Structure 1
Amino acid sequence: MRTAQSQARQEAARHLLSARDIRTLALASLGGALEFYDFIIFVFFTVVIGMLFFPADMVDWLRQLQVFGVFAAGYLARPLGGIIMAHFGDRVGRKRMFTLSVFMMAVPTLLIGLLPTYAMAGHAAPLALLVLRILQGAAVGGEVPGAWVFVAEHVPERRVGLACGTLCAGLSFGILLGTLVATAVNKGMAPQDVLTFGWRLPFLAGGVFGLLAVLLRRWLSESPVFEELRQRKALVQELPLKVVLRGHGAGVIVSVLLTALIAGGLMVVILMAPTLMQSLYNLPAIEALEAGSAATLSLTLGCVAFGLLADRLGPARALGLGCLAMAASTYALYLGVGSTPERLTALSVMVGFCAGVVGVVPTVMVRVFPAAVRYSGLSFSYNVSNALVGGLTPLVITLLIKTHPLAPAHYIAALCGLSLGVSLYLGTAGRARFADLSPHGRHRD
C-alpha cells in the first residue's frame, strides 16, 4: 500500500510546476509582454510620428503611407531575424538567444524615444526610424518562437499547455498595455504636449523596462533538453533549417497552417475590431476602443484557460473545440452588434476569450519538431506564415467587406476550419508522429 501511495505521489509531483518552473514562466511571460508592448506601441502614435518624421509640406495620404511602411518593415524583418536567432538557438543555446531578443528590442525602442525629428535632422530622421524598426522586427521574430521552446522544454510535459498558454497571455497583455499607455498619454496631455514630448514617453519607458527584463532573464537557466543534447553531443551539425526543410515537411505545414490562426485571427478579432465596429455599425470610437480593450483582457484569460484545457484533454481536442467556439462567437459578435449595439462589450469579451484558443497553437508546434531543430523549425514556420497572413489580412478584409458585412466572420470561420482540420489530423494520423518533447523522442515525417 505504501509503495502504491509513494508512486502516486511521485507521479503527481511530475505533473506539478516547481518553484524554478514558476520563476522561469513568470520571467518569460514578463519579458514577452514588455517586448510585444515595445513592438506594438508604434502603431498607436503613427499620426504623431508622421507629423514629426516627414516633411511638413508632404500630403497627408503620402505621409501616412510612409509611416505605415516603416511600421510594416518590422513585420517584414521578422522571418530573417527569427531564422538567424533560431539557428544559433539550436547550435549554441536557447537562453542566449532568449536574452538577446529582449536586448535587441529594448535598445531600439529606447533610441526611438530619443531620435531627433525631421526638423532637427532632415532625411536622416526617417531613415534612422526605419533602421530601428527593422531591428525591432528581427527581435520579435526570434523572441516569440524562442520563448515557446524555452518554457516548453523547462516544465513537466503534462504542463506544457499551461506554460505556452500563460506565455501567450503575456504577449496579449503586452498589446493591452500598449493600448492603455497610449490612451493615458492622449487623455492626460494636451495635443501640443503630446506632439512636443509626450509621444516619447511610452518608448522611453518601454526601453528602460526592456533593459530591466534583460537583467532578470540572466537568472534563468538553460533549457534542460538543450543541455542533455549538448552533453550527449547530439546537437545538429548541419544548418538546422536545412534539416527542417529536408526531413520535417509535415511539421512545417502543420505549423504554417496553425500560425495563420494566430496571425489572421488576432488581426481581425483584436487589432482591427474597433475600426470595423465603427465603420460597419457607426459606433462611437470610444465605445469601440473600450470594447477592444475588454476583448484583449479577456484574450489573456482565454489563453491560460485553453492551455489548461490542452493539458487535460490533449492539444488536438482543445484546438478543435476552441476553433468551433471562436468561429461561433465571431458570428455572434457581428450578428449581435448589428441588431443590438449595446451588447458590443459583452460580445467582444466572449470573442476575446474564445480567441484564447491561440494559446493551444504553440503547444502543438513545439511537438512537431525534434529537439535538435525545434527552435529553427518553429521559428521558420511561424515567422513566414505570420509575415504573409498578418500582412495580407487587413487588405483581404478591406476588399471583402465591400461585398458582405459578415466578411470578417467568414474569414475567421475559414481560418478556424483549417485549424480544425489540423486538429483532426493530429488526433488520428499525427498522434504517432508527434509524440513527446524529450531530446530523443519520436518525431518522424
Structure 2
Amino acid sequence: MTANTHSRPAPFTRSDYKTLGLAALGGALEIYDFIIFVFFALTLSQLFFPPEMPEWLRLLQSFGIFATGYLARPLGGILMAHFADRLGRKKVFSLSILMMALPCLLIGIMPTYAQIGYFAPLLLLALRILQGAAVGGEVPSAWVFVAEHAPVGHRGYALGFLQAGLTFGYLIGALTATFLAQAFTPAEILDYAWRYPFLLGGVFGVIGVWLRRWLSETPVFMAMQAQRDAAVELPLRTVLREHRLAMLPAMILTCVLTSAVVVFVVITPTMMQKTFGMTASHTFALSALGIVFLNIGCVLAGLLVDRIGAWRTVMLYSLLLPLGIGVLYTCLIIGGSWIGLAYAVAGLGCGVVGAVPSVMVSLFPARIRVSGISFTYNIAYAVWASITPLLLIGLMPWSPWICVIFSAVMGAVGMSSAAYFGTRMPNVGSRSVAPCAQ
C-alpha cells in the first residue's frame, strides 16, 4: 500500500490488498494463539489446580492467569515499540508472532498438576506472561503497519479489515473448540484432547512467520529513514514529554474497546455454560456465529470512518454496544429460540472495536507512533482487561444483567469521550486528512 499526503482518495491496488490480507491473516493466527486459553478455561482450571479446591475458585484462578497475560502486555509492547520506531515496523511485526507461538506450543506439551504439582500453574503463568508480552507488540505494530501503507481515503476500511482479521483469530479459536467438543467426549478432552488446539497454535505461528516474510517496510518509515527523521532518542520519553494530551483519549477508547472484547468474547461464553447451563458445543457454536458478525461489524465501522470520520463512528458504535449486549442477555435470561440472532446482533454492536484504531493511529506523529500507541493501549488494556473479567465473574451471582449494565456504562463513556475530544481534535481520524504521512 502506498502512503499519500493528499486528501483525494486513492484506489486500492492489488499490492494493497496483498499487504492488508497478509497482515490480517498473520494477526488472526497470533490472536488465536493468545485467545484459545479462554475457550478451555474450564478444562485448564481442572488440570492445573488442586482438585480439592472449590470449582469457582479454580475457575477464578484460571482467569487470573489469563489476566496476567494482559498485565505483561505493557512491558513487551513498550520494548517492541521502541525498536519499531527506531529500526522499522516490519522487523518487530514479524518477531511478535514467533514470541506468541512458542509458548502456545509449550502449553500443549507441558505436564499438569497431577504430574508436577504446583509447578504446573507456575509454568502456565510464565508462558502466559510471554504471550502477553508478544501480543502487546502485535496489535499496535499491526495498526501502524497497515495505516502507514493504506491509501488516503481508505485508512478506516483498512484498519477495520485488519481488526476483522484480528477478531477472526477468535473465530478460529471458537471453531476449534466447537470441533473438539463434538469430536471428543468431556473425559477425552480432559485426558489428552485439550492439548491439540495449543499444538495447532504452534503450527499457526510457523505459518504466520512465513507469511510475514512477504511484507515490505512501510513507506512512511522508509521516508523517515531517508530524511533521517526516525526516532533517535528514547521514543517513549518523547511521548511522555510532548504528547500527554493525546494519551488521555487513547487510553479511554482502549478501555471501551477492551470492554467490548472482554464481555463478548471472554465472559459471555463462560457464563453461558456456568450460569445459563448450555453445553460446551452449543456455546462454542454460538460464539463462532457471534464472532462472524463481529468481523462484519469491524469492517462496517471502518467503512463508516472513511465516510463520516472516526469520532462520529465511535459515538455511533458506543451506542450500539450496550444495545447489542442487552439484546443478547435478554434472550439468555428469558430463554427462547432467538439466541443465535441475538448473538449476531451483539456481534455487530461490538463493531466499535473496528473504529477505535483509526483514532489511535491519528493521535501520534510517525516518528513515535508505535511507542505512543503501544504505551497508552497496552497500559489501559492491561489494567482494564485484568480487572473486568474478575469483576464481572464476581458480580454475576448478584445479577445476571451485570454485563448489560457494564456495557451501558462503557458505551456512555465512549460516546461522551468521542463527543468531547472530537470537538477539540477535529482532524484526528478525519476522512479528509492523512496524518499517517506526518
Normalised by the length of structure 1, the TM-score is: 0.88
> Using a 3 Å threshold, how does the CA distance of structure 1 residues 49 and 311 change in structure 2: closer, same or farther?
same
Alignment of 1:46-57 (within 5 A): 46-54=41-49
Residue type of the partner of 1:253? L
Residue 204 of structure 1 corresponds to: 199
Report the alpha carbon displacement of residue 357 of structure 1 after superposing the two structures with TM. 2.1
For residues 357-376 of structure 1, the C-alpha deviation after alignment (integer angstroms, 9 at most, x for no partner) is 22010011000001111101
Residue 115 of structure 1 corresponds to: 110
Report the alpha carbon displacement of residue 18 of structure 1 after superposing the two structures with TM. 1.6
Residue 245 of structure 1 corresponds to: 240
Higher deviation after alignment, 127-136 or 201-210: 127-136
For residues 2-31 of structure 1, the C-alpha deviation after alignment (integer angstroms, 9 at most, x for no partner) is xxxxxxxxx999522122211111111111
Residue type of the partner of 1:34? L
Report the alpha carbon displacement of residue 145 of structure 1 after superposing the two structures with TM. 1.0
Report the alpha carbon displacement of residue 264 of structure 1 after superposing the two structures with TM. 1.0
Report the alpha carbon displacement of residue 140 of structure 1 after superposing the two structures with TM. 0.6
Report the alpha carbon displacement of residue 427 of structure 1 after superposing the two structures with TM. 3.4
Higher deviation after alignment, 180-189 or 98-107: 180-189
> Using a 3 Å threshold, how does the CA distance of structure 1 residues 44 and 148 change in structure 2: closer, same or farther?
same
- Find the aligned partners of 2:49 and 2:271 in 1 and give their Cα distance: 28
Residue 396 of structure 1 corresponds to: 391
Report the alpha carbon displacement of residue 396 of structure 1 after superposing the two structures with TM. 3.2
RMSD across aligned C-alpha pairs, in angstroms? Answer: 2.7
Report the alpha carbon displacement of residue 183 of structure 1 after superposing the two structures with TM. 2.2
> Using a 3 Å threshold, how does the CA distance of structure 1 residues 80 and 18 change in structure 2: closer, same or farther?
same
Matched, 1:105 2:95: no
Matched, 1:80 2:88: no
Residue 352 of structure 1 corresponds to: 347
- Find the aligned partners of 1:189 and 1:337 in 2 and give their Cα distance: 26
Residue type of the partner of 1:75? Y
Q: 2:407 aligns with which of 412, 415, 430?
A: 412
Residue 142 of structure 2 corresponds to: 147
For residues 305-339 of structure 1, the C-alpha deviation after alignment (integer angstroms, 9 at most, x for no partner) is 11111111111222222222223333334445555
Report the alpha carbon displacement of residue 432 of structure 1 after superposing the two structures with TM. 4.4
- Find the aligned partners of 1:200 and 1:57 in 2 and give their Cα distance: 23
Residue 330 of structure 1 corresponds to: 325
- Find the aligned partners of 1:215 and 1:259 in 2 and give their Cα distance: 30
Residue 165 of structure 2 corresponds to: 170
If you compute each CA radius of gyration, which structure gives the higher value, 1 or 2?
Answer: 1
Residue 269 of structure 1 corresponds to: 264
Q: 1:186 aligns with which of 177, 181, 203?
A: 181
Residue type of the partner of 2:65? V
Matched, 1:306 2:301: yes
Task: Say whether the 8 Å CA contact 2:76–2:132 is kept in structure 1.
Answer: yes
Task: Say whether the 8 Å CA contact 1:372–1:439 is kept in structure 2.
Answer: no
Residue 32 of structure 2 corresponds to: 37
Task: Say whether the 8 Å CA contact 1:270–1:352 is kept in structure 2.
Answer: no
Matched, 1:422 2:417: yes
Alignment of 1:279-298 (within 5 A): 287-298=282-293
> Using a 3 Å threshold, how does the CA distance of structure 1 residues 134 and 15 change in structure 2: closer, same or farther?
same
Alignment of 1:220-239 (within 5 A): 220-239=215-234
Q: How many residue pairs align between the two structures?
A: 431
Q: 2:14 aligns with which of 19, 28, 31?
A: 19
Residue 254 of structure 2 corresponds to: 259
- Gapped regions of structure 2 (runs ≥ 5): 1-5
- Find the aligned partners of 1:78 and 1:218 in 2 and give their Cα distance: 24
- Find the aligned partners of 2:428 and 2:46 in 1 and give their Cα distance: 54
Residue 310 of structure 2 corresponds to: 315
Task: Say whether the 8 Å CA contact 2:255–2:381 is kept in structure 1.
Answer: yes
Task: Say whether the 8 Å CA contact 1:106–1:210 is kept in structure 2.
Answer: yes
Task: Say whether the 8 Å CA contact 2:101–2:206 is kept in structure 1.
Answer: yes
- Find the aligned partners of 1:353 and 1:255 in 2 and give their Cα distance: 23
- Find the aligned partners of 2:116 and 2:274 in 1 and give their Cα distance: 38
Matched, 1:387 2:382: yes
Report the alpha carbon displacement of residue 341 of structure 1 after superposing the two structures with TM. 2.9
- Gapped regions of structure 1 (runs ≥ 5): 1-10
Identity of aligned residues (%): 45
Higher deviation after alignment, 126-135 or 94-103: 126-135
- Find the aligned partners of 1:389 and 1:419 in 2 and give their Cα distance: 14
Residue type of the partner of 2:102? V
- Find the aligned partners of 1:197 and 1:209 in 2 and give their Cα distance: 20
Residue type of the partner of 2:162? L
Task: Say whether the 8 Å CA contact 1:33–1:171 is kept in structure 2.
Answer: yes
- Find the aligned partners of 2:434 and 2:210 in 1 and give their Cα distance: 28
Task: Say whether the 8 Å CA contact 1:79–1:384 is kept in structure 2.
Answer: yes
